[in-house]
Structure 1
Amino acid sequence: GLMIEKTADIGDAPKAGDEIEYTITVTNTGNVTLYAIRVVDDLVGLDTTITQLAPGESREYVVSYTLLQKDLDAGQVVNDATVEGKDPNGEDVDSQVEITTPLTRNPDLSIIKSADIGDASKAGDEIEYTITVTNTGNVTLYAIRVVDALLGIDETIDELAPGDDPVKFTGSHQLTQEDLNRGYVVNKATAEGEDPHGEKVTAEVEIETSLDKTPALEIAKTGLYVDVNGNGVADFGDRIDYTITVTNTGNVTLYDIRVLDALLDLDATIDELHPGDDPVVLTGSYAFTQEDLDAGLVANRATAEGQDPDGDAVTGEVEIETPLLQEPDLEVLKTGVYVDVNDNGRADLGDRIDYTITVTNTGNITLHGVLVVDEMIGLDELIDVLKPGVTMTFTGSYEFTQEDLDRGSVVNTVELAADEIEEPEEPTEITPLEQEPSLQIEKFADIGSATRAGDEISYTIRVTNTGNVTLYGILVEDELVGLSETIEELAPGESVDFTATYVLTQANLDAGRVDNLASAVGDDPAGQPVGSETEITTELAYEPEIQLRKEADREDYSLVGEVITYTYTVTNSGNVTLVGPFTVTDDRIDQADFDLENLPDSLAPGQSFQVTALHRVSQEDLDRGHVTNRALASGFFVPAGGEGETQAIPVFSEEAVLTLPADQKPSFSVEKEGTYVDADQDGYLTVGDRIDYKITVVNTGNISLTRVRVVDAMLDLDFVIDTLAVGEVWTYQDSYALTQKDIDRGFVRNVVMVGADEVEQPSEKEEVTDLDGELPPVPVPPTGETLGYPLMGSGIILMGMALMYIALRRRKEEETA
């Protein structure tokens, strides 16, 4: 016999990755030796062979197996081992053993929560939480629900095996004022799942996060000075408007805050003030007294006291000083008004300055012992008391001297003193006396009848002292007339006249004027030069004029493309020389078609030159019936001394207009074709068969035709072609259904009539379609039915033509009327 045994050693509470140690013992329990014994254990990977095993002999094998998580989840490991060999007769001998190793299961779950408060210290700040869920057992857990009501977390972990990384959840809680007032936040989180056998596994955690309570109270105060009477000075009746603001600057609510300000008689209570609330604003006013003004400031103290949520006192205090500016000030204004006593319009001896002096206490305290002295006008006054806002006025006059006039100004200073002002500002009034050394030179020209070279112009030159001081050594010069004279002395208002003549030159006439410059220079009493000059331009009657004559090489034209040659004759018809560049322009000829390269540089009076240009006749010229050209010629007149075209005066001719008539030849042709058509295709000439007509109108003249009227009574056609260009073809197609009378007659006569506005007589075209021979005839109706029809048809056609001719003539007469 053959026996196999198996034992397991699991050791401590197992977990995935731990090992079970197996001992496998094979024993020959028979009485014969066994051979080729194969020992197999698939779980541990054992597959070995014992060559022979004597009766009673054993072999032992020690192997190990590494636990898997699924083994732990199952709670056991089942292991089979087999042994098989041969007896001496070759018969099979075998044995098998199965061992079940129970595993201890330890389902466990851990939940941890941490808080990061950061710098959260006020309502609205956030605390960041981290929740960590870990499988601390040795079996897989399922459907683990994680709940944190405060953070709004409700999540499920589908599966969490032992050794898996912990699952983390994060969330934040926004602090409320209640949290801060309480001083802490309590937060609880739970986790609940199932082990592999569906048993509940739970865990919970609760943490308390402390919050720092920092009760604080701030009271601030501002004072705004109000100038009640609007005088710009701190004085009685003005006030200070105070604004007291109470602010909760801590992070907890404050209660029953009492605010006191004795100066404003303020006693107010704020029931409750939360952090972040708008500051509570209290206001009051204080009208300061003279004592305050004398002291130069107003001191004011305010206090605030309340309680925090724990009942502890929280206080705040503020004191401000509002300065009152003491402004001892004295304003002295002095004005001087120049009086032109002799009313001569300038400063001179005998004139005076009238002074007005005003002394005003512009400060906010009373001034004493105010002394005002002005020696120039004989003023010496003492003001014992001068209250704020009070003004004293003093007046006086000063008659200035020649020395003042020579100096050019009067300087007057007021001397001041006052008990409360150490060095009052002493105003100085400077009244300028304008020295007006002035010299005027004038020139007058009498041209008389001077119109040509050799005629004379008479000049008068006048020099006048227009200032208020005497001038000396005045040199008067006029180079054009050869004048050079000296005036030794010239008093204000005096004048000296000089006369001279000038002979005109041709250059003057070409320039159209005579420019003449005269100057006078002398010295004022200080030896400073005083001068004046005048330039007079005497206009001369010049007549620059250009004349243009235009001629054509033919009397009319009749063809498109026909070339008309124009000749332009340009003549200087004025009395001064003209210079180029000369131009000839024509509104119907491009400037490039003129040959202007060989034109003269200048053109003396009476001289001429010619240019030619070509015009190619267009259809529009023929349709218009004439070519009207408007031409201009131009040159320049350059006054003597002018350089370049920028100095030139353009001279234009009168417009030369030439109209060349067109030899208009309006005409058209009319063609009409008629083709018989067996409409019913019965092979017979029958009623209902038709004639297809084609009418062609062609403009065969040399001008466009307008309102071309085409009339065909038989086809009920009366059509007007608005415009038919030269060579243009107009076509019209229509059909006429045969009548029995047409068949009986044996032919169809059709007349089309065409007229146009430009053609005197309308034209007609007759088309006769012979029906005989086209197809076999049909039975002939009684003889009397066809008699007179051809005559009647011809009469209708002639009548229609006459009416159309009358209508066309009447319309043309109305248009030309």
Structure 2
Amino acid sequence: MFVIREAIALSKIADRAEARPGDRINYTLAVENTGNAALSNLVLTDEELGFTVDILELEIGQTLLFTLSYIAPYEPGGTVVANTSVVSNAFVSAEASAAVVIAAVPGLALRKTASETAVAPGDVVTYTIVATNTGNVPLPDVAVSDPLLGIATPPAPLAIGESLTLTGTYTIPPGTPGGTIVGNTSTATSSLTPPAQSGASVIVTPAPVLNIAKTADRAIAAPGETIAYTIVVSNPTTGTVAGATVADDLLGFSETIASLPPAARRRSRPSVVPADAPAGSVISNVSTVSVPGALTFSAEASVTVAAAPALSVVKTPSVESAPAGSLVTYEVTLVNTGNTTLTNLVLTDSVLSATVVIQYLLPGESQSQLFSLKLPLGVEPGTTLTNTVTVQTDQLPPAQDSAGVVVLPPPDVEIVASPLPAYARPGQSVPVTIVVTNRSETTLTNLVVINELTGTNSVFPRLLPGGVITLERLVAIPPGTRAGTEFPSVATLETDQTPIQTAPILIIVLAVPALRLEKSVSTPQAIAGETIRFRILGENVGNTTLNGILTDPLLGITVGPGTMLYRGRVLISQPYAIPVETANGTIITNTVRAESVPPGIGTSASASVQVLRVLDVTKKADARDSYIGAVLRFSVHVANDSAFTATNAVLTDALPPSLAFVPGSLVVGGVPQPGRALSGGVPLGTIAPGQRVVVEFASRVLSIPRSDAAAGDAASGTLFNQAVVTFGVRSPSGRAITTRAVSNRAQVTITEEEE
């Protein structure tokens, strides 16, 4: 009895036991089918590695290898990063894990910055020093020193990612010449890392003086109005100033003056008042002029924003077209696009029978109102239904907006599955196509197509008029599925606009007749005369009933005509006696054949056995012709030319009635055997490989042998005599057996008297 055992094994190996943060770790996954049946529809996943793969088929004993990569994360040294892979289907599952230790990588970084890059004599510069643990292990003894700033911290621990921030000040000595570069360096140390250093420098510059003035071309401006600003920069000194920068963030303006002699420089720039600037607010605009290493000078101009009420009204339907009887939602959005508050807003729509009052709407504020209208039944398709909303306020004249919806014919949708029916063989995947067609002028929404057989559960937000959705699926027919098996199913379609639609699906399994025929023999080698056993196994491995006949001429077996049921089997074990006269080395091949009824499918199987002889027996007479009363002498030669030892060998020689044994004439191996008769057998004992034994005896002719009067002369006849040696031997299969070796037939012609 064969028991199906489905089993699977999964192993996972990392290419290293330890990795530094950022190193690439390669994992090798091995999936092995350890059962006695093929596996299908396996899924191999590893969530940590973001890996998923479908294994459609895994044969018995087959192993699949996968190599995945993973970047070692920035984790503390000694952290164990472990992840698990899982392989499974509906019947079996296995998982395997691998772990890698994050190596310790100490790191220390130092950064030093100055608050200024250019300073004048007497200025104070503030330096910021930041020491950071950039490794993945804590540093036990971080110390920072800066001789110029008088900083020297005692060693202190610094956790992973933690920073130590220090500040210090330095005053530029009075009288320091312009162009002098003042620089210094800070140092951070730790017992686990090399020292880290960072420096910062400032340059000493003279301090020039500049004047700046700014004016606007108006004092009051409305939102969206353009204001022209005039900026005047002048050099009140007697020397030329180089590299002055004029900037105005509000105007988006920045200009570098390469050289400014003792004179004025004028620049005019426009600016637009923002549309959302509140009425009465003041726009203050500051322009600056600066020179590297000197002070920054500024000038300001202000403009007051005037009141400018404005309102935007937008009416939008939820759809541009819909069938009569559909519910359409209208959204009315009010936006205060001015810069002053609007009050007592009254919204009316005669078609929607709606009136809404809003007490106030702040500048930039918006409000939306939703109204629903069921399109009247009986309206001719193609008609546009339009309605208008009106909004009145205390500050503005009435504002309006209209929206129209086109009336469409009723919705119509179709779902079809093909082919119908579909035919397939076991183990095949059948393509099934599901087609959804929008046959109406209405956009269909929230379409849901469901079919369990094809594993379909698809959602589509919309399908435009005339649009088509095509779903192509594969349905796997399980191996071994019986012929004629039907897989019926129904695909369903739901939409917001139509009733549920269905389409039938049918897959029919075709007949695939197949017969597995095996023949085996109990031993590949056997002794002549040994009885061996042939085994015949026929198994219906197809998916339908088989009709046929099974024959084995050598064994004389005929089974059928008959029927083998689906997954049926027939087992025949038949003994066969190897003829004792079979020549040494003969290969006996036995073939069994199965033929279908009616003919069309046939198969055969064979098994062979090699025949080995142990003893060869030869019998001779001392004369070819003799007569009544004469004495004939016979010799029997027994030779063991094999590699087997013959035991308990006994020679028998049944003399015919026309002969009589002469007492005292028996000689075995050259040794006379007085008193021993031929009848009852002559013991020869053990005959080893290469050994030969000769048995001799005499017999007297008593009469002319008469076998058949029609065979020859009635007064004379032919004498036939044959010797047999029975012995034991251990066959190549290891069995202890008893068999025989038969000699040739010694022939002597007998007459009545000597010629």
How high is the TM-score relative to the length of structure 1? 0.26
Considering fraction of residues, name the structure with more helix: 1
Considering fraction of residues, name the structure with more strand: 2
Does 1 or 2 have the higher relative contact order (CA < 8 Å, sep 6+)? 2
Give 1 or 2 for the bigger CA radius of gyration.
1
How high is the TM-score relative to the length of structure 2? 0.27
